[in-house]
Amino acid sequence: MSFFGIGQGADISIELSDSEKRKKVEVKNEEGKKDKLPLYLDGETVSGRVQINLKGKKLEHQGIRVEFVGQIEMFYDRGNHHDFLSLVRQLAPPGELNQSTTYPFEFLHVDKPHETYTGTNVRLRYFVRVVIIRRISDIVKELDVAVHTLSSYPDIINSLKMEVGIEDCLHIEFEYNKSKYHLRDVVVGKIYFLLVRIKIKHMEIAIIKKETTGTPPNVYTENEQVAKYEIMDGAPVRGESIPIRLFLSGYELTPTMREVNKKFSCRYYLNLVLVDEEERRYFKQQEIILYRKGDAKSARKATAKE
Amino acid sequence: MADGKSGATGSTPETSIKRLDFKKQTLDDAYAVPANLLEIEVSNPETHGLARTRYTDYEVKMKTNIPVFKIKESSVRRRYRDFEWLKKELERDSKIVVPQLPGKAVKRQLPFRGDDGIFDDDFIEERRKGLEEFLNKVAGHPLAQNERCLHMFLQEPIIDKNYVPGKVRVNN
């Protein structure tokens, strides 16, 4: 922006290398809209070029630098950003720019320990920032990138199995095939009725997302029902089994995040809800771990880069 | 979608038809009477007494197979103030949110009305329906079923207002 010739004397544009080939993913931004951002993985090199287009004849500056930043931003505490990652490269020493210039930059094998996340109260983002330091006001340009963390859990299948109920009223046994699911997995399970003395109308399974931010005693918890899925209609009797098959790929989910930099957590729960004829609700919540599975291709790419 | 991976889907044909093993239901279980029978009917309004002590009571008939109730079929007579008593007892002892009764008819008890006041047939019918709904909601509540006051209200001929509040246990 330049008003009456004062203000910024240059335009900065940042271009990442292999930006055409690189995969893009949708990431929600602050306003809740979705941006397509280039995707990076942990350990990958971030490189590219910075182009500075002069608007005037020359530009005096106290130095030009490029940064790669990983940042956690609390929405209730806007002024206070928390950088968990900050790499800086000096592009030019203090001096004068007489013409439009291009600088290459490279951050080799950057550790990106966390996944990009936009929640209700918190945002975790990565970006490249170019700063032209000037005496009065710096010229700053930021370019967001997305980061995914991949994990491969050992395929030890320990199922979640439990008997729950209300004494002398309703006893059920439920079972989910795993306790850890990847984001495009299928929850396969069953409900077995041991005792039914209430008039059940239907049963549903819900995925609940719990976002916890802040440190005690100032903890904010946001619950969001991500999915609701009916698995039974009508009243069952003793000995009946109800099958469950819930495809996770249909919902907007992120991996489970625990105590990210001691700032926030995002956890997922399966909530089994039975509703009786008088609309009373009986439920049991069970935490499940969600993770992002690396497909063979991207895993190979990540190792090749190292 | 949060995960934009192409090709890598978890729903391979094998998992998309997968089921966990089932215990087969026995025929006895499949054809047995469901263990959740609970029917409560409020009927037969009758007006007793004379002049200022006139009141209406209703027959509360109940049929159940839930073991917590001692008697499987019972019939008692109750008036509106008994329902109020039950509501008060439940609110005090149990931790449940007790549903509303069909309101008290203070206005209808004023003299010189065009109809029969609280003895008007339409009014009695409306109240009967409300009471029936109230009782069915309360009696079906798993926590209310443990309260002694509910059992006394439904099954004992006379309500002893000086009873010892407490819980009822199943002895099967």
In chain B, % of residues over pLDDT 70: 85
Q: Is the pLDDT of residue B166 over 90?
A: no
Model-level pTM?
A: 0.84
Distance CA(B93)–CA(B89), nearest Å, equals 6
Please judge whether A190 and B34 are an interchain contact, meaning their C-beta atoms are less than 8 angstroms apart: no
Higher-confidence position of A295 and B11 = A295
What pLDDT is recorded for position B14?
67
Q: Is residue B165 part of a domain?
A: no
Strands A281-291 and A180-182: parallel
Distance CA(B154)–CA(B145), nearest Å, equals 11
What pLDDT is recorded for position B103?
81
With CA atoms as reference, report the closest residue to A211 among A164, A258, A171: A258
Say which CATH number the domain at B57 has: 3.30.1520.10
Per-residue tokens: A222: 């946001």
Of B3, B18, B137, nearest to A184 by CB-CB distance is B3
Q: Is the pLDDT of residue B4 over 50?
A: no
Q: Which residues pair with A196 in a beta bridge?
A: A170
What pLDDT is recorded for position A159?
87
Q: How far is B116 from chain A (nearest CA, A)?
A: 34
Mutate to test the interface with B, among A166, A195, A198 (most CBs of B within 10 A): A198
DSSP state of B55: E
Please judge whether A190 and B20 are an interchain contact, meaning their C-beta atoms are less than 8 angstroms apart: yes
Sheet holding A186-196: strands in order across?
A160-166, A170-176, A186-196, A241-247
- Can you say whether residue B35 is alpha, beta or left, with left for phi > 0 and alpha for psi between -120 and 50 degrees? alpha
Per CATH, the number for A10-147 is: 2.60.40.640
Long-range pairs of A170-178 with CB within 8 A, sequence gap ≥ 24: A170/A195, A170/A196, A170/A197, A170/A198, A170/A274, A170/A282, A170/B142, A171/A195, A172/A274, A174/A272, A174/A284, A175/B20, A176/A244, A176/A270, A176/A286, A176/A288, A177/B18, A177/B20, A178/A288
Host domain of residue B143: 27-155
Q: How far is B11 from chain A (nearest CA, A)?
A: 7
Q: How far is CA A111 from CA A241, B4, B60, in A?
A: 48, 22, 73
Distance CA(B94)–CA(B144), nearest Å, equals 7
State the total domains in chain B. Answer: 1
Please judge whether B2 and A182 are an interchain contact, meaning their C-beta atoms are less than 8 angstroms apart: no
What pLDDT is recorded for position A229?
94
| A220 Cβ contact partners less than 8 Å away, ≥ 6 residues apart | A76, A121, A212, A213, A214
With CA atoms as reference, report the closest residue to A143 among A17, A281, A297, A302: A17
Using a CB–CB cut-off of 8 Å, the residues of B that contact A are 1-5, 7-11, 15-16, 18-20, 22-23, 25-26, 29-30, 32, 34-36, 38, 66-68, 136-137, 140-142, 145, 170
What pLDDT is recorded for position B50?
81
The answer regarding whether domain A160-296 maps to CATH 2.60.40.640 reads yes
Q: Please calculate the CA angle A13-A14-A19 and round it to the nearest 5 degrees.
A: 130
Q: Which residues pair with A15 in a beta bridge?
A: A49
Higher-confidence position of B27 and B118 = B27
What pLDDT is recorded for position A238?
93
What pLDDT is recorded for position A296?
55
Q: How far is A164 from chain B (nearest CA, A)?
A: 15
Of A247, A280, A295, nearest to B7 by CB-CB distance is A295
Q: What is the pLDDT along chain A (306 residues), one digit of tens a residue?
A: 444 445 557 889 999 988 888 888 888 877 778 889 999 999 999 999 999 988 877 888 999 999 999 999 988 877 788 999 999 999 999 998 888 899 999 999 999 999 999 998 899 999 999 999 988 888 899 999 999 998 877 667 788 899 999 988 999 999 999 999 999 999 999 999 999 999 999 999 999 999 999 877 788 999 999 999 999 999 999 999 999 999 999 999 999 999 998 899 999 999 999 999 999 999 999 999 999 987 655 545 545 444
With CA atoms as reference, report the closest residue to A29 among A142, A183, A149: A142
Q: How far is A162 from chain B (nearest CA, A)?
A: 15
Domain boundaries defined on chain A: 10-147, 160-296
> Residue B112 — very low, low, confident or very high, per pLDDT cuts 50/70/90?
low
What pLDDT is recorded for position B13?
62
Higher-confidence position of A5 and B166 = B166
Could you tell me if A268 and B17 are in contact, meaning their C-beta atoms sit under 8 angstroms apart?
A: no
CA torsion, points A60, A65, A69, A75, in degrees to nearest 10? -10
Please judge whether B170 and A168 are an interchain contact, meaning their C-beta atoms are less than 8 angstroms apart: yes
Of A184, A190, A245, nearest to B22 by CB-CB distance is A190
Residues 226..285 of A with a Cβ closer than 8 Å to B: which? 235, 237-241, 243, 245, 247-249, 252-254, 276-278, 280
Q: Is residue B98 part of a domain?
A: yes
The interface pTM score, or ipTM, of the predicted complex is: 0.81
Could you tell me if A47 and A9 are in contact, meaning their C-beta atoms sit under 8 angstroms apart?
A: no
Q: Is residue B54 part of a domain?
A: yes
